[in-house]
């Protein structure tokens, strides 16, 4: 069976400016991390997101789905019962089935969803509410610590799930969705979230149609959109995507998601680094010789062939998921855990790799599939070899926009 195996190799010299071996070279900025303690639950890092909402909160725990008045779409009313409607656009797809519905169920199971909520699936495929429920129920698991009353909870959850079929680029389907959402909101103070679980080439169509017909009027609750990566295939198309989205939305309404940042192991990386006196002094090129971030899947491209042909596996997971982990691993201590400060340190760290590639020591080496090393370099970029698909056991050279490096000895 074909497998995908990408390695991200970080040379120790990457630490050189980040953690100078001569500690007098740069004053060390100390910032103890703050954590949010959710009663009875694990500790979460508190980080403010770039659009003003708490970063963890932006993943549903506070201010987003608990329907407190906040966010774009006008101030939500202060009093009365609130309700939140979550529409998963692309509900028939892989991500929706594998991750989004199970994640929503996990939130429901742990009582993180507000009392009044409704979930809608939206896609072109024709299906009834019952058919959607059947599909969803196959992937729901009680993956949480306590599994008590799991099937009972699943039934309750599924009863709150509905389906609306429609096109992405026409307003008709979204009109009908709006009608059904209004019916379910039943006079409560509404808030609406649209999760775009669709290929990126139709993001703007959906935002245009949904914002015109199914978003809440100003003065009512908020309307927000979660956008999945990839955010374009290079910086030009990424800028174009943002400009297009902003024709219909305020920045505060747009939430860009990288689900790797929500993985417990990745979240814990910051805790491990900045909360441990044992590790802090050791986290430098003096003590770490080699770091490899390995992305490995034990299955083939499955339904992703067309997508990989357009974007490539490197754009799919490397210049987002793996680069984020690399940055969290190698960045200098941020002045605070506000998202802007973390982002600034990540950018500095990645820019450092870029700047140092001419001096040889800073390097990012990528191995695709069978272990063949893939240099991310300017020469490849100039040659225009971008975005080839990684399928089966062999991979071509690919270009990561804005990142370059060299393999050992090159």
Ligand X SMILES: NC(=O)C1=CN([C@@H]2O[C@H](COP(=O)(O)OP(=O)(O)OC[C@H]3O[C@@H](n4cnc5c(N)ncnc54)[C@H](OP(=O)(O)O)[C@@H]3O)[C@@H](O)[C@H]2O)C=CC1
Ligand Y SMILES: O=C1O[C@H](COP(=O)(O)O)[C@@H](O)[C@H](O)[C@H]1O
So which residues are the catalytic ones?
Answer: 321
Residue nearer to ligand Y on the CB measure, 257 or 335? 257
Q: CB nearest ligand X: which residue?
A: 93
**Looking up tokens 């729901």, which residue turns up?**
140
Q: Which one, 222 or 311, has the nearer CB to ligand Y? A: 311
Least Å from the CB of residue 12 to ligand Y: 26
Angle between helices 150-159 and 101-109 (to 10 degrees): 120
Nearest to 214 by CA among 168, 171, 164, 243: 171
Smaller CB separation from ligand Y, 228 or 352: 228
Q: Between residue 81 and residue 120, which ones bind ligand Y under the rule CB under 6 A?
A: none
Closest by CA to 124, choosing from 91, 162, 171, is 91
* Between 297 and 341, CB nearer to ligand Y: 297
Residue from 267, 374, 278 nearest 319 by CA: 374
- Asked if residue 70 lies in contact with residue 63, where contact means CB atoms within 8 angstroms, the answer is yes
Report, in Å, the least distance between residue 170 CB and ligand X: 12
Binding partner of residue 317 among ligand Y, ligand X, none, CB under 5 to 8 Å per kind?
ligand Y
* Least distance CB 297 / ligand Y (angstroms): 6
3-state secondary structure of 185: helix
Would you give the DSSP letter of residue 55?
H
Residues interacting with ligand X, by CB under 6 A?
90, 92-96, 98, 123-125, 168, 197-200, 202, 228-230, 259
Partner interacting with residue 59 (select from ligand X, ligand Y, none; CB below 5-8 Å by kind): none
CB 28 within 8 A of CB 34: no
> Residue 266 CB, nearest distance to ligand X (Å)?
14
Query: Residues touching ligand Y: how many (CB under 6 A)?
Result: 4
Contact of residue 125 among ligand X, ligand Y, none (CB under 5-8 Å per partner type): ligand X
Is 71 or 121 the residue whose CB approaches ligand X more closely?
121
309 φ, ψ (degrees, to nearest 5):
-60, -35
Closest contact distance (angstroms) between CB of 150 and ligand Y is 22
Which residues are CB-neighbours of 302 under 8 A, at least 6 positions away?
Answer: 94
CB of 98 to ligand X, least distance (A): 6
Q: Which residues pair with 336 in a beta bridge?
A: none
Q: Are 128 and 163 in contact (CB under 8 A)?
A: yes
Of the pair 297, 381, the CB lying nearest ligand Y is at 297
* Other residues' Cβ atoms within 10 Å of the Cβ of residue 306: 11
Per-residue x/- mask for ligand Y, residues 286 to 315, rule CB under 6 A? -----------x------x-----------
Tokens of 46: 């508190």
- E-strand ranges in 259-301 read 291-297
The site string for ligand Y over 316-335 (x = CB under 6 A, - otherwise) reads xx------------------
**Residue located via tokens 């309700």:** 83
Report the interface residues with ligand Y, using CB under 6 A.
Answer: 297, 304, 316-317
């Amino acid at each position: 069976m074909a497998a995908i195996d990408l390695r991200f190799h970080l040379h120790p010299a990457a630490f050189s400016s980040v953690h100078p071996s001569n500690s007098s070279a740069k004053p060390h900025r100390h910032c103890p991390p703050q954590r949010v303690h959710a009663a009875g639950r694990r500790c979460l890092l508190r980080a403010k997101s770039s659009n003003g909402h708490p970063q963890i909160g932006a993943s549903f725990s506070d201010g987003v789905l608990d329907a407190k008045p906040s966010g774009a779409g006008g101030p939500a009313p202060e009093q009365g019962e609130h309700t939140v409607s979550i529409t998963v656009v692309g509900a028939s797809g892989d991500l929706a089935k594998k991750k989004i519905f199970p994640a929503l169920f996990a939130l429901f199971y742990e009582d993180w969803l507000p009392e009044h909520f409704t979930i809608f699936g939206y896609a072109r495929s024709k299906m009834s509410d019952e058919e959607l429920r059947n599909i969803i129920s196959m992937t729901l698991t009680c993956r949480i610590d306590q599994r008590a009353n799991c099937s009972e909870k699943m039934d309750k959850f599924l009863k709150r799930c509905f389906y609306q079929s429609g096109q992405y680029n026409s307003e008709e389907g979204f009109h009908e969705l709006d009608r059904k959402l209004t019916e379910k909101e039943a006079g409560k103070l509404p808030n609406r979230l649209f999760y775009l679980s669709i290929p990126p080439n139709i993001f703007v169509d959906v935002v245009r149609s949904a914002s015109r017909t199914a978003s809440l009027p100003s003065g009512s609750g908020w309307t927000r959109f979660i956008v999945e990566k990839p955010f374009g295939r290079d910086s030009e198309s990424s800028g174009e995507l943002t400009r297009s989205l902003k024709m219909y939305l305020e920045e505060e309404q747009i939430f860009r998601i990288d689900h790797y940042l929500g993985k417990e192991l990745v979240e814990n990386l910051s805790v491990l680094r900045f909360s441990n006196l044992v590790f802090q002094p050791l986290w430098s090129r003096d003590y770490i010789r080699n770091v490899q971030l390995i992305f490995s899947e034990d299955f083939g491209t499955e339904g992703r062939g067309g997508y990989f042909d357009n974007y490539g596996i490197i754009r799919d997971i490397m210049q987002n998921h793996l680069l984020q982990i690399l940055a969290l691993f190698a960045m200098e201590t941020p002045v605070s855990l506000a998202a802007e400060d973390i982002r600034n340190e990540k950018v500095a760290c990645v820019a450092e790799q870029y700047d140092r590639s001419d001096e040889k020591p800073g390097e990012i080496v990528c191995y695709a599939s069978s272990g063949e090393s893939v240099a991310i370099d300017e020469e490849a970029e100039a040659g225009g070899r971008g975005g080839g698909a990684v399928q089966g056991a062999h991979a071509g050279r690919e270009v990561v926009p804005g990142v370059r490096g060299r393999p050992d000895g090159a």
